[in-house]
Amino acid sequence: MSLPLLSLKLKPNAKSRALSGHPWVFANEVESLLSTEHDGKVVECRDRTGRFMGVGIYNSKSQIIWRRLSRDRVELDESYLRRALDRAIERRAYAPSNAKEANFKRLVWSESDELPGVVADRFGDTIVVQIQTLAMELHGALIGDILTELTGAAEVIFRNDSNLRRLEGLSAEVHTRSGKDWAPRWMKIDDVDYWLDLQNGQKTGFYLDQREQHLAVAKYCKGKRMLDAFCNQGSFALHAAKVGAADVLGLDSANDAISQAVKNAEHNGVKARFESANVFDWFNDKTHGNDPLWDVIVLDPPPFAKSKSALEGALRGYKEINLRAMQRLAPGGILATYSCSHHMQDAELRQVIGAASSDAKRRVHIIEYCHQPSDHPVLVTMPESEYLRGYILRVE
């Protein structure tokens, strides 16, 4: 095996998290950058004393110039990709209660699976792949081939249209491994049918990370009035209706999401209403002041804090929406509240909820702690790999 010859070296005064095991090195943390001809290639990184820290993928166009592949000397070739993908699939070889549901899960979660910038979700016989780093983009076709071989998938859809690709100097594009369009179709996930457009829908087509929470919330909904705020395609609402909720309303600002939620409800034969609305405006609308209180409210908003600089405003937004929800809950009602921003840590979310309960003058207890599922594994040295957290609360 030929070894990488080029090295990055940390500045003497750099306080890089990479020294404590984090897999990223930023441009301002190294003594000098390598030339652009090395973009997308594997290089070493050493600390200020020259100690070898591992090999990783390099891109001078990105603020994150180095992403660790391994603490050992490896090459980014077919052997490495096959080994990493095989390990990623093996990590998820648990036995679910319903064998069919094993075909709906995340297969690859970026640095957590030694494949920086690669995300792969499985939907039955189709795998949706997102690639957000230059080095992995250069091996995209091979990644698709290996995933097909390891899983027997009929198709791989490359959803390379994330805005994050611009940070790596990559253009946006969507294509399939076969070169043929993937036709939208019905797929059953946890006994609910969804009309999925994996090639053109949001992100990878469906939020697999909330599957466990759909079922967790549903058990509180039988015979109850349930509000699903930021409902997207209606998963929480559909599961509530399926278990016999008395009244179900879903809200989302995206008209296409509401249309899809209505279509899903009709196809599944469940009773649920959906409205296009800005959730903040809806809660503040005085015309709803005399409406009956809700028994269950779900708050599953998009990330309010997409950057660390946006965190302060995001905290105000999370507090506001949780306060309004608490005010609209019947005594003893259930509030399921989530954050999908890795910039908001658990302590900050708890503080926001506490402040909202104080302002609402409601006594609030935690019933369940919520987290991203095991097929979205958290790398303990990388806080960014942990992004989904929440609580199921009783509001008295």
| 396 residues of the chain, pLDDT tens digit each | 455 469 999 999 888 999 999 999 999 999 999 999 999 999 999 999 999 999 999 999 999 999 999 999 999 999 999 999 999 999 998 645 444 466 899 999 999 999 999 999 999 999 999 999 999 999 999 999 999 999 999 999 999 999 889 999 999 999 999 999 999 999 999 999 999 999 987 766 788 999 999 999 999 999 999 999 999 999 999 999 999 999 999 999 999 999 999 999 999 999 999 999 999 999 999 888 788 999 999 999 988 766 667 778 788 999 999 999 999 999 999 999 999 987 788 889 999 999 999 999 999 999 999 999 999 999 999 999 999 999 999 999
Catalytic residue list: 340
Enter the CATH code of domain 78-185.
Answer: 3.30.750.80
- 122 CB-near residues (< 8 Å, 6+ apart): 103, 104, 105, 106, 107, 151, 153
- Give the residue from 148, 237, 239, 232 showing the smallest Cα distance to 189: 239
Token couple for 56: 């990783």
Buried/exposed code over 99-130 (b: 16+ C-beta within 10 A; e: otherwise): eeeebbbbbbbbbbbbbbbbbbbbbbebbbbb
Residue pair 390/373 in contact (Cβ under 8 Å)? The answer is no
Residue pair 364/353 in contact (Cβ under 8 Å)? The answer is yes
Q: 7-70: what CATH class?
A: mainly beta
Strands 294-299, 225-229: pairing kind: parallel
Q: Would you state the CATH architecture of domain 207-395? A: 3-Layer(aba) Sandwich (3.40)
d(CA 333, CA 257): 27
Residue pair 40/17 in contact (Cβ under 8 Å)? The answer is no
d(CA 68, CA 56): 4
- Give the residue from 41, 40, 43, 59 showing the smallest Cα distance to 6: 43
Q: Would you list the domain boundaries of the chain?
A: 7-70, 78-185, 207-395
Exposed (0-12), middle (13-18) or buried (19+): which is 331, by Cβ within 10 Å?
exposed
Token couple for 122: 């499985």
Residues 69, 71, 75, 78, CA torsion sign: negative
pTM given for the model: 0.92
